[in-house]
Every structure is written in structure tokens, then in C-alpha cells.
Amino acid sequence: MDYPSRFDVIVIGGGHAGTEAALAAARMGSKTLLLTHNIDTLGQMSCNPAIGGIGKSHLAKEIDALGGAMAMAADHAGIQFRVLNSRKGPAVRGTRAQTDRALYKAFIRNMLENQPSLWLFQQAVDDLLVEQDSIRGVVTQMGVRFYADSVVLTTGTFLGGTIHIGMQNQPGGRAGDPPALALARRLRELPLRIGRLKTGTPPRLDSRSIDFSKLIEQPGDTPLPVMSYLGKVEQHPEQVSCWIAHTNERTHEIIRAGLDRSPMYTGVIEGAGPRYCPSIEDKITRFADKDSHQIFLEPEGLQTREIYPNGISTSLPFDVQLELVRSMAGLENAYIMRPGYAIEYDYLDPRDLKHNLECKHITGLFFAGQINGTTGYEEAGIQGLLAGCNAALRAQGRDSWTPRRDEAYVGVLVDDLITLGTKEPYRMFTSRAEYRLILREDNADMRLTEKGRELGLVDDVRWAAFVAKREAIEQEEQRLSTTWVRPGTPQGDALAAHFNIPLSHEYNLLNLLARPEVDYAGLQQVTGNGLADQLAAEQVEIRTKYAGYIARQQEEIARLRASENIDLPADIDYWSISGLSREIQQKLTDIRPATLGQASRVPGVTPAAISLLMIQLKKRQ
């Protein structure tokens, strides 16, 4: 049969991880096949249609810096943009886009269909072809075989998925989609540690049944932010507001009274749920002293009346869902278009993975996304990009790329997962990164685009824009550092008056910008000179103001890098190292850290144990 059956890379699953994986591998020139249940659900947002937010925008922007799709899709589909934590320091700011679900999906599909070297095929994958601990290909539900020595598995919430509403449950990958049962069985036959997790989603409401006059309006930010480094405000569709409602004592009573029919509180669901995105039943139980919670009512799109009530994710029975929704002011007559539900699914213990997201036990088999124990589109997307990139590198006979914790949030995410594992869905926070001031959302391109270009992930258009921005920043810093202002001159006096600061002696403009009272926009206004590109101007300002802190973090990184660079051989026998406790021997044997630095992050591994490992390494030399 004249049909392409051999590929360099096969990606299973067309969610956020799978689409970024397939696009990345194909951008790098590898012949790539994306296999998914349904081509119409490519890039589908299973839960709320929003990209970014604190910690998550860092990941979306890293995807963007490496040429991926998510941030660009958010710019073309975003119907409300806000910068969260805007009053706090740049390290913890997070851009968030409420998107139109349909526009987002259409953008992703369009990118996939127009990506050279990428083939799409609609079929469930039921089996993996494994020979002598190496992946060789996959078999679809109707028995078609596709071959590749690099396969990326991104099945999200679908493996052995069970949907729960009240005490009723049924197999499902998410509402309206079938689960992946045969593949789940196959994975349990392989030497992998498989567990169960759970997540949930709220009921969706019809906007016509909501009394918005009783709610607080929350418009987007002005000026409008963009998500992608190539983004333009003109790409954004029409902008709309979100709304805020509140739960009350009665809502909480209704929920408490329904707990005896809650699958979570009656032991029907065993998998742990996301601690930081809890269900409403969790919230009122864990925070019993709070008499009200904010609920954000977010439009699902411009062409639909569906509203996503963010904050009431629930798997309570439908009658309780209706009652609790209607107990809130403004929602007294709310009509539920889709019930909320919880889903339980299989995940892989990520300690079975290496830093390149390849499985330790099956060569060439990569895992990315929710299947690795994470939650969230951004967490999935960046893992997909990394796994797709490493699958392509493997196919091309090149070394893997494994970003470090001090280079990128994806470095933090992967290192956390494979070193610590996870017992509940893992989501990204800025607090997980040690080097927050260096890993900002605003400088993801400065940190990663050059690497992305070297890997083959970044196209000519993005590269040219990046180089122009980098040059503009350097030239502007040079100009500011060589432009002097003196007290008693018209410009010196104008600056002193504008910023209300004494000008005691001669300053260059870069020194002046470092002062807390001075901002770049003001400098530009008074001197009539400066960068028109707002993103480049923002870089100049942040780099100048935080120069001292940034330099200190860089010194610390350089010091710690020494231990990150000491490799621990894969064949090291921890049981034979006397002096290590049995617990530490067991943990190091299970995790097999790649470097001394990674070993030091394994919980329970003490500085004394690290010294013993160093002695052992010296003996082997």
C-alpha cells in the first residue's frame, strides 16, 4: 500500500502537549506523524479557555521563545487580557488571556495543517510496538501500523479515564470523548509505575440566565498586553469583560449537605486532585472558616453564550450543582448548559523519566503533558515542545537538550517531576523556581530563542525579530550609559523636576534609570529620545533596575553549576556505598539522578550523603 507508514517521530495525542510536540519535531525537519482520536478536537481546551496567569505565562512565553504555538494562538484568540501581579516585581508578574475557545482551536489546527513535514491521522492508538526495550512504532484501533524509533505519548486525561458526577460514573477521556482503555492496559504491561490522579471542571452557564447587574464587572487591562514576542494588539479579536460573583453561607450549606453524595468524599474517587485548583467541595471543607469565595464568570467565546464560572469546579450530583449555583446573587435563575464533573485517569510516575522526558526503561519512548502528573495547558505545552524536540534530536542522531533549573521554568518543572515525582497534579508557580529574577516572563526570548534557533525550532521571521530586539536593547543601554546630564543645565533641571529628585552631580542616564524614582517612560518624555518598541524598552528598564540582584543570582548559579556538572554514572551501585542509609540508597537507586546536583535535590539526601558520593566518584576515576 502506497501510504506513509515510517516516520522519524510519532506523536500520540492532539492536546496541548501533543500539538506542540508534533510542531516542534516537524519544525526541526523530522518527518512527523500526529495521531489523535479526533482531528476536530486538536488543541481543545478541556477546562477553562484561558492561557497564562502567574507561573503559567512564564511557560507560555518559553514555548513562544522556542517557536511554539500557544502564545501566538492566545494573541489571536484572546478576548480579555490582564497582567496579574502588575504592582509586584517583574519576577512574579503573569500575563493572562481569556480566550475564545473556538478561535484558539482553529488557530492551532491551522498551524498544524500548514506545518511542512507534519502528517495528521485520526485514529486511536491501542498498542505500542516494543522490541528489546526500544520503541519501534504503534498500532491503531483499526490495526494500522506506523513505525518510528522515537514516539511521544501525550494522552492527557484519557488513559483509563472515568468521569464522575455524583455517585454515577462512566468511562470517558473528558466530557464527550472516549477514554483510551486498550493503551492504558498496554502501559500497565510495561515496566512502568502507573498511578491515578483526578481533576474536575465546573458546570457551564447560559449568559442569558444571569443577572449581570448584581455582579462586579472586571474589564481587561489598558494598554492591552500581548502574549507572544511576535504578538500585536491588532491581532486580538473584540475584547469583553469578565464578571465576579460570590458564594455565601447558603451555598456552603448546600455543598455540605451534598457531601454524602460526593464521589470524592465517599471514597469513590481514589486519585488525588489538584491542591491549587481545588473543587468547591474541597474549598469549603479545607477553608471552613471562610464564609465566601470569589467566582469569576468568564465568557467562553464571542459567538457563544456559554459562561465558565471559575472557582466552582465540582463533581457533586447535578441537583446539588444547580442549587449551589442558584444560591449566588446574580445567578438565581442560572441555567446550566453542561454539568460539572470530575475525571480520574492513569498517569506515569515521572520518576521513570530522564531529563529529556524519555522513559528510563524503553528507549525512544517519550512522555509529555498531563500523563506525567501535571495539570494545565501551559505545563503540558512546554513538556510537549521539549519531548518533541528531544524525539527529533534522537531521530537525527543528535544529543538531547535538557534545560537547567537556572535557564528556564521548563527546567524547573522537569527536574521537579523526575526527581521528586508527584502525588497530586503538579502546576507551576513562580515559588518553585530558585532563580526567579533571572527566569522572568518578560525575558523568556532573551533566555531561550538563541538556543531554539540552534536546535532548529526557531524560524527566520522570529529569529530576525529577536536579533533586532536584542540589538535595540544593547544599543539603548550603550546610549543611556554614555549620555550625561548635569545639574544646572536645562535637561538636568527638567529631569530633576519631573522625577522630583535632587541632582547633586553629573549622572549618565543609565545610573539615573537605576534609581527607584525614575522610570523609562519619564526619561523618554523629558529627553524626547528612546525606544519605540515597548518590549525592548521594558527589558532595558528591568535589566537596569535589578542589575545588582541579577548579578548576585548569576554568581550563585555559577557556584552551584559546579555540582550540576558532575555526572553520576548510570551503573553506580548505591547499595555498595557504605555510610549511606538504606533509605537514601533506595531513593538514589529508584531515581538514578543524572548529576550530583540532582542527587542533592532528592528529599532526604543529606550533605553528608553527597560527600560520600563525591568520594565514590573520586575512587572510580
Residues that bind ligand FAD (CB under 6 A): 12-18, 35-37, 41, 46-47, 124-125, 154-158, 173-174, 177, 180, 183, 199-201, 277, 313, 343, 369-370, 375-377, 380
Closest to ligand FAD by CB, 152 or 438 = 152
14 is in an annotated binding site: yes
> For residue 366, what is the enclosing H or E element?
strand 365-367
Please report how close the Cβ of residue 143 comes to ligand FAD at its closest, in angstroms: 14
On the CB side of 107, how many CA atoms lie within 13 Å of its CA?
23
Q: Which one, 387 or 512, has the nearer CB to ligand FAD?
A: 387
Classified as helix, coil or strand, 567 is strand
CB of 52 to ligand FAD, least distance (A): 11
Retrieve residue 441's grid coordinates.
516572563
Supply the minimum distance, in Å, between the C-beta of residue 381 and ligand FAD: 7
Residue 171 neighbours by CB under 8 Å, 6+ apart: 161, 162, 163, 178, 179, 181
* CB closer to ligand FAD out of 300 and 406: 300
**Pick from 360, 375, 346, 344: which is nearest to 195 by CA?**
346
* Residue 15 annotated as part of some ligand binding site: yes
Helix, strand, coil shares, percent, the chain, to 5:
40, 20, 40
Known binder of ligand: residue 281?
yes
CB closer to ligand FAD, 317 vs 376: 376
Rounded least distance, CB 408 to ligand FAD, Å? 19
Residue type, 309: P
30 contacts 395 by C-beta, under 8 angstroms: yes
Closest approach, Cβ 347 to ligand FAD, in A, equals 10
Question: What does the alpha-carbon distance between residue 548 and residue 423 come to, in Å, rounded to a whole number?
Answer: 38
Residue in the structure block whose three cell numbers are 486538536: 42
CB of 12 to ligand FAD, least distance (A): 5
Q: Residue 68 or residue 90: which is nearer to ligand FAD going by CB?
A: 68
Cα atoms found within 13 Å of the Cα of residue 499, Cβ hemisphere only: 25
Least distance to ligand FAD from the beta carbon of 184, Å?
Answer: 8
Which cell numbers hold the place of 198? 483526578
Of 12 and 97, which CB lies nearer to ligand FAD in the complex structure?
12
For ligand FAD, give the closer residue by CB, 13 or 411: 13
Q: How many CA atoms lie within 13 A of 136 on its CB side?
A: 6
Closer of 72 and 152 to ligand FAD (Cβ): 152
Displacement of CA 10 from its chain's centroid (Å)? 22
Q: Which is nearer to ligand FAD, 37 or 447 (CB)?
A: 37
> Residue 291 is placed in which grid cell?
464564609
Q: With contact defined as beta carbons under 8 Å apart, do 159 and 183 qualify?
A: yes
572: burial class by Cβ within 10 Å (0-12, 13-18, 19+)?
Answer: middle
Grid coordinates of 157: 486525561
Least distance (Å) from ligand FAD to the CB of residue 462?
A: 23
Closest distance between ligand FAD and the C-beta of residue 63, in Å?
Answer: 12
286 has binding-site annotation: yes
Q: How far is CA 567 from CA 534, 561, 585, 618, in A?
A: 42, 12, 17, 12
Q: Is 284 annotated as a binding residue?
A: yes
Please tell me whether 81 is known to bind a ligand: no
> Does the annotation flag 282 for ligand binding?
yes
The least CB distance from residue 250 to ligand FAD, in Å, is: 25
Is 267 known as a binding-site position?
no
375 labeled part of a ligand binding site: no
- Determine if residue 166 is labeled as part of a ligand binding site: no
DSSP letters, 136-185, are EEEEETT--EEE-SEEEE--TT-BT-EEEETTEEEE-SBTTB--BHHHHH
Beta carbon nearer to ligand FAD, 35 or 92: 35
Is 196 labelled as part of a ligand binding site? no
285 known member of a binding site: yes
Nearest distance from C-beta of residue 551 to ligand FAD, angstroms:
35
Q: Is residue 112 within 8 Å of 120, Cβ to Cβ?
A: yes
203 is in an annotated binding site: no
Could you tell me if 236 and 97 are in contact, meaning their C-beta atoms sit under 8 angstroms apart? no
Residue 578 CB: number of other CB atoms within 10 A? 8
220 annotated as ligand-binding: no
Closer residue to ligand FAD in complex, CB, 40/332: 40
Residue list, annotated binding site for NAD(+): 273-287
Residue list, annotated binding site for FAD: 13-18
Residue list, annotated binding site: 13-18, 273-287
